[in-house]
């Protein structure tokens, strides 16, 4: 989702806690860790509908992380972010790829340049490996 969906009248922190209602996960520590990494501590107490697109995008990535899924499928995670925040997100996703499968669609492949990244290009509906994409 390029436009992450949150319950607008709830604070970001409450939105992040919703998944704990349905799963018996204690994700407090992991949430705190990645909140710092994504540099979104300042928006946790804000209502979602007053956050910018970039802030929500990062909060959405955090929501994906604390879900503790083995595969993260992310559509343009840097779409609403400035260059600095894009770098932060890209770095974090690269780190996460050490333990999870992270699949990202992006128009800024250079941000995700790291040792273990496989770049795929879609051509005529078929994936082609293309590590010279950058």
Residue numbers of the site for other proteins (CB under 8 A)? Answer: 1-3, 5, 7, 9-10, 14, 17-23, 63, 67
HSE at residue 74, side-chain half, CA atoms within 13 A, is: 32
Closer CB to other proteins, 5 or 83, in the complex: 5
Rounded least distance, CB 106 to other proteins, Å = 16
CB of 50 to other proteins, least distance (A): 15
Residue 134 CB, shortest distance to other proteins, in Å, is: 27
Shortest CB 124 distance to other proteins, Å: 24
Residue nearer to other proteins on the CB measure, 22 or 127: 22
Q: Is 69 or 121 the residue whose CB approaches other proteins more closely?
A: 69
Residue nearer to other proteins on the CB measure, 10 or 117? 10
């Amino acid at each position: 989702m390029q436009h992450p969906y949150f319950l607008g009248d709830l604070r970001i922190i409450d939105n992040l806690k919703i998944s704990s209602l349905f799963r018996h996960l204690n994700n407090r520590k992991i949430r705190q860790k990645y909140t710092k990494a994504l540099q979104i501590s300042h928006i946790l107490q804000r209502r979602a509908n007053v956050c910018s697109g970039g802030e929500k995008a990062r909060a959405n990535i955090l929501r994906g992380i604390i879900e503790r899924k083995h595969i993260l499928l992310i559509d343009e995670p840097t779409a609403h972010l400035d260059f600095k925040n894009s770098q932060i997100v890209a770095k974090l996703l690269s780190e996460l790829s050490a333990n999870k499968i992270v699949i990202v669609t992006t128009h800024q492949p250079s941000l995700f340049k790291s040792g273990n990244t496989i770049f795929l290009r879609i051509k005529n509906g078929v994936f082609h490996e293309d590590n010279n994409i950058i």
